[in-house]
Amino acid sequence: MERRCMFISSFVLILHLVQAQDPTGFINVDCGLPLRESPYNSLPTGLAYISDADLVKSGKTSRIAKEFEPDYTKPILKLRYFPDGVRNCYHLNVTRDTKYLIKATFVYGNYDGLNVDPNFDLYLGPNIWTTVCLVKTGISIPFINVLELRPLKKDMYVTQSGSLKYEFRRYLSNSDRNIRYPDDVYDRKWYPMFVANSWTQVTTNLNVNSSNLYELPKGVMSTGVTPLNPNATLNITWTIEPSTTKFYSYMHFAELQTLRANDTREFNITMNGKITYGPYSPKPLKTQTIFDITPEQCDGGACLLQLLKTSKSTLPPLLNAIEAFTVIDFPQMETNEDEVAGIKNVQDIYGLNKISWQGDPCVPKQFLWDGLNCNNSDISTPPIITSLDLSTSGLTGIITQAIQNLTHLEKLDLSNNNLTGEIPKFLADIKSLLVIDLSGNNLTGSVPPSLLQKKGMKLNVEGNPHLLCTAGSCVNKRKDGHKKKSIIVPVVASIASVAVIIGAFVMFLVLRKKKASKFEGPQPSYIQASDGRSSEPAIMTENKRFSYSEVIAMTNNFQRILGKGGFGIVYYGFVNGTKQVAVKILSHSSSQGYKQFKAEVELLLRVHHKNLVNLVGYCDEGENMALIYEYMSNGDLKEHMSGTRNRFILNWGTRLKIVSESAQGLEYLHNGCKPPMVHRDVKTTNILLSEHFEAKLADFGLSRSFPIEGETHVSTVVAGTPGYLDPEYYRTNWLTEKSDVYSFGIVLLEIITNQPVIDQSREKPHIAEWVGLMLTKGDIISIMDPTLNGDYDSGSVWKVVELAMSCLNPSSARRPTMSQVVIGLNECLAAENSRGVSLTFGTEVSPRAR
């Protein structure tokens, strides 16, 4: 049995070690080849192949049965199989942000004498590659013969999302010759397609210019077919399973005949009856590639490609070559790369040969490395390592400094080993680390005071006979003069203090209640405004309320201005002398009156989400009104997009992260609040950024409660910012959560284009109309922010463009929900972070002529 797979990859994180030194940049691995026979040049390509002995830490070598050897040549004769462990992984050194064509070859050849076709899974990083980690799925033993990687140009084989599964690659010829390297500079394999009786072969001996992006071999482009009947269509069919699978097709054309003065070759291209391109005329002796920028689907999985002659054409359609790929999505993100480097350093330093320690440490969850726990609850961010248990692992030497790279570690267990040396101070610097078990080792010296003094720390150092402590009772002398070891848990020593504090607090509450009943009398449910605003009940809580004199103090008499707006001025300040805040002072002439001020305070006092700006407090004292927010040191998204804040250009990944987090905040308002809320003023100036560019939605003065159960909208006076305002809401005064979705669609267009929302100098002043016009021209490049310099995953860009345009649908009912927007953006972010790993595995499918 022969099983082959091909896939296109932008970056293969799980393949991570040594690269074959080949001038083409190719990586060619003969799996099972002994080191003494490596490298060698394979015929007929002349490519150099190396052994996999240094690229994988497990497995055994074998070769196909002698009866099959005449059918194959190197590098297929040998193989590596993996009888032990569930997941066994290859580690190759590939270049980040480089797209690869990857080919893995599997020829069973009855190597084990069982004559039973094996069945196993193939994973790339944490993602399954269908039914390089080879994964057991039953009693079958995984194996592999050849692993090959070919770097491609990043603009080749672009997808909107996910990766590409090879379906077929054919050139139209009666030849029996398969074409690959060196004729194909990317070592793609081209197979001839049988020329049907209804076709005629067209060839040329002239030189065909193949210097377009896809650089097809001259042998592929110097041949083609046309229908025998000059009025007939040229039909090609194939079947895709499952029937809902999306695919991309790439058609390659070059006019091979010398046309007479009155001859014309022009045709339309249709897929299952729908025109996808045309009218089109091939260029004389010049290669052109036609493909759809969006994936297609075939009803029932039956695909019919037709080239139809136009009425003005005198010649039938012509086709030279065709490729097809189906789409595979890889939703799981790889573990945080810094933590991967850290845990692999630990592995190397201690010489850990655990068979489970292969591939990605945290994902998929079913292949989590033994002794690790990870947090991968947020699919938009890489998983992190939270616990490391290396107890009873035969560790020797000192506690390695590589552990400090595991910055999210909460628990560390190194007990019952033979570790020596002192306990390192860096353990106290891992902020999240609260449980450390170092018992049963041979550690010496003193326990660092910083560890003993760390609040909440649980430290176990029992069974280290030569270890001393400082500033604590981790070593107690018995009456017989011997030292007694004990577990150090500093928080236990403070139990008595905690009891005292609790008692005092209870007493304080009792006294306060008595004092209140004695002097204050019954309290109203709200405080009546005293400045002519009696029709508006005041804010219904005294929590987080500051006096105006406190506002003056926290801003140092309004010394430093952070920004200005229609509401007034925002000042920089401190609460309690340490916490940085932004203080928004409501101007007496502000268009935002007390109603909006009150709405924002009450909303922020009752909603809490990591992507909504946090209200530290407020001031409501006569005419003096202020809102005190957490300080967002990187200002707003608009400043960074326009370059007014600094010259730093936000890359595409950062932009995606910002809008993804903003979308999560907005989704919380719509679905997490009771009653739900509509923001009504979503725009880039209301997306604030922290020191680490974490995004939070701000400015809730226009927010409104969403309809109660059973209602579909709120009738309200239109409010919002021109350009971002939902035209349906403007027209009907009916407010729904889809009004926020529209505004968010405008934000998405801003991060894509870095263009003003309204620009009268454009052909279409409004950004939505302008982008729509450009898309009808098929001109995606012209709408992309040129400062990105093409450094982005094209698939994720297309997906965001599609998502933005769906948010801007004139009919609110046809817009996605914010939950759907969040899912879409997380998929885009995952694609950008992994740069769209594109691959597949399966049986080759051949198209058929009709």
pLDDT tens by residue, 22-77: 456 899 999 999 999 999 999 889 999 999 998 888 899 999 999 999 989 999 99
CA quadruple 66, 71, 74, 75: dihedral positive or negative?
A: negative
Tokens 């194939």 correspond to: 238
Tokens read off for 516: 């209140």
Say whether pLDDT at 423 is over 90. yes
- How much is the average pLDDT of 80-89? 88
CA 425, CA 453: separation in Å to the nearest integer?
12
- Distance, in Å, from the CA atom of 794 to the CA atom of 799, rounded to the nearest integer, reads 9
Considering the segment(s) 640-850 as one domain, its CATH architecture is Orthogonal Bundle (1.10)
Six-digit token pair at 402? 């590589």
CA atoms within 13 Å, Cβ hemisphere of 567: 22
Q: Are strands 247-253 and 321-328 parallel, antiparallel or unpaired?
A: antiparallel
Residue 566 banded pLDDT, cuts 50, 70, 90:
low
Residue 424 preceded by cis peptide, ω within 30: no
Cα separation values, 460 from 414, 416, 473, 489, Å:
10, 12, 12, 8
- Confidence label for 204 from pLDDT (cuts 50, 70 and 90): very high
Whether pLDDT at 104 is above 80: yes
Do 312 and 264 meet the contact criterion of CB atoms below 8 Å apart?
Answer: yes
When pLDDT is averaged across residues 2-7 and rounded to a whole number, the result is 33
Q: Is 674 annotated as a binding residue?
A: no
Residue that wins the pLDDT comparison between 763 and 695: 695
* Residue of 480 and 383 predicted with greater confidence: 383
Domain ranges of the chain: 2-152, 163-328, 337-488, 524-631, 640-850
Give the number of other Cβ atoms within 10 Å of residue 156's Cβ. Answer: 15
Do the two domains 337-488 and 524-631 of this chain adopt the same fold?
no
What percentage of the chain has pLDDT greater than the value 70? 80
Give the mean pLDDT of 432-437.
92
Q: Answer yes or no: are the C-beta atoms of 27 and 42 closer than 8 Å.
A: no
Strand 734-735 to strand 714-715: parallel, antiparallel, or no bridges (unpaired)?
antiparallel
The three-state secondary structure class of 251 is strand
Region for 544 from its dihedrals, namely left if φ exceeds 0, alpha if ψ lies in -120 to 50, beta otherwise: left
Residue 527 has pLDDT above 50, yes or no: no
Task: Tell me which fold the domain 337-488 belongs to.
Answer: 3.80.10
Please choose, from the candidates 609, 620, 589, 591, the residue with its C-alpha nearest in 3D space to the C-alpha of residue 669. Answer: 609
Query: At residue 718, what is the residue type?
Result: V
Higher pLDDT, 304 or 499: 304
> What backbone phi and psi angles, to 5 degrees, belong to 488?
-90, 115
Residues contacting residue 822 through CB under 8 Å, at least 6 positions apart? 660, 663, 664, 667
User: How far, rounded to the nearest angstrom, does the alpha carbon of residue 505 sit from its chain's CA centroid?
Assistant: 48
Which pLDDT value is given to residue 620? 85
Count CA within 13 A, CB hemisphere, residue 281. Answer: 13
Written as six digits, the tokens of 490 are 């500093």
pLDDT attached to residue 518: 33
161 pLDDT above the threshold of 80: no
When mean pLDDT is compared across 138-142, 406-410, 764-768, the lowest value belongs to 138-142
Looking at per-residue pLDDT, the higher value among 686 and 492 belongs to 686
Parallel/antiparallel/unpaired status of strands 267-271 and 274-280: antiparallel
CATH for 163-328 is 2.60.120
pLDDT at 165 over 60: yes
Q: Which secondary-structure segment (H or E) carries 322?
A: strand 321-328
pLDDT over threshold 80, residue 843 = no
Report, as residue numbers or ranges, the catalytic residues.
Answer: 681
Q: Which residues contact 628 (CB under 8 A, 6 or more apart)?
A: 544, 546, 551, 554, 573, 575, 581, 582, 583, 584, 615, 616, 617, 618, 619
Task: State how beta strands 615-621 and 568-575 pair.
Answer: unpaired
Most distant pair of Cα atoms in the chain: their distance? 115
Strand-pair partners of 227: 199
Mean pLDDT of 499-503: 41
Interatomic CA distance for residues 743 and 740, integer angstroms: 5
Contact predicate 411/388, CB 8 Å: yes
796, 836 Cβ separation under 8 angstroms: yes
Please tell me which residue, 489 or 98, carries the higher pLDDT value.
98
Residue located via tokens 């083609």: 224
Residue pair 806/818 in contact by the 8 Å Cβ criterion? no
Which amino acid appears at position 166 of this protein?
Y
Q: Taking 90 as the threshold, does the pLDDT of residue 456 lie above it?
A: no
CATH of domain 524-631: 3.30.200.20
d(CA 685, CA 714): 25
Q: Using CA atoms, how far apart are residues 780 and 849, in angstroms rounded to an integer?
A: 34
Integer Cα distance of 430 and 448 in angstroms: 14
Beta carbons of 750 and 641 less than 8 angstroms apart = yes
Closest CA to 610 of 701, 703, 702, 694: 694
User: 143 pLDDT exceeds 80?
Assistant: yes
Query: How would you class 504 by CB atoms within 10 Å of its CB: exposed for 0-12, middle for 13-18, buried for 19 or more?
Result: exposed
On average, the pLDDT of the chain sits at: 80
What mean pLDDT is predicted for residues 280-301? 92
Encoded tokens for 764 = 């279409």
Question: The dihedral of CA 197, 200, 203, 208: what is its sign?
Answer: negative
pLDDT in tens, 655-670: 999 999 999 999 988 8
